A = this chain, B = another copy of it.
Amino acid sequence: MSFVMSQASLPVFEIGLNALSAVLEKAEAHAAAKKIDPSVLLNSRLSPDMFALTRQVQIASDQAKNGSARLAGVEAPHYEDNETTIDQLKARIAKTVAYLKTLDPKQIDASADREITFPLGPTNKGHMKGDDYLNHFVLPNFYFHITVAYAILRHCGIDIGKRDFLGGIPIKMT
């Protein structure tokens, strides 16, 4: 009957990121079949003042990596944000998932009452209790960016559905 913070974070990020990687792979196949330059997809956005697909993927990766590291009380590696191809974005996602596997779930479980401090824009800092930081900042931000990445590709006509978004979740269907 236990419910711990590591299970509400690490596998959630891993499944969501792997689903995002698979969706990017479908986008790549679509672009090849329709002779679309993949960079058109990577530079697509839902409104002029929202980030394009590449940046949505980078931020989703950062939310998972930095959020989990802060909860575990360790310093996350810095990624350069220099991806310009779908293959490079898939490699970034794989690197993020591999990093998550290096974290100690017990350290994340122990962070519920610890104050987490994190950058908010270039000059401000946010402060939240560990459990609030996971429930009300990292998870909503992570889901925001993977959903927008998915929605950009739906908007561009890629043939993907809700199951592609959910990914490899532990479900039994009858």
**A residues adjacent to B (C-beta < 8 A):** 1-5, 7-8, 11-12, 15-16, 46-47, 49-50, 109-110, 112-113, 120, 124-129, 131-132, 135-137, 139-141, 143-144, 147-148, 150-151, 154-155, 157, 162, 165-166, 169-174
CB of A84 to closest CB in B, whole Å: 24
Q: How far apart sit A113 and B132, CA to CA, in the bound complex (Å)? A: 23
- A46–B155 CB distance below 8 A: yes
Chain B residues with CB under 8 Å of A120's CB are 173
CB-based nearest B residue for A2: B112
Out of B49, B132, B144, B155, which one reaches A147, CB within 8 Å? B144
Task: Report 25 cross-chain contacts, Cβ distance below 8 Å, ordered by A residue.
Answer: A1-B109, A2-B112, A3-B4, A3-B109, A8-B135, A12-B139, A46-B155, A47-B157, A50-B151, A50-B154, A124-B174, A125-B173, A125-B174, A127-B173, A128-B171, A136-B170, A137-B166, A137-B171, A139-B143, A140-B169, A143-B147, A144-B147, A147-B147, A147-B148, A148-B151
Q: How far apart sit A93 and B174, CA to CA, in the bound complex (Å)? A: 31
Chain B residues with CB under 8 Å of A2's CB are 112
Q: How far apart sit A68 and B170, CA to CA, in the bound complex (Å)? A: 19
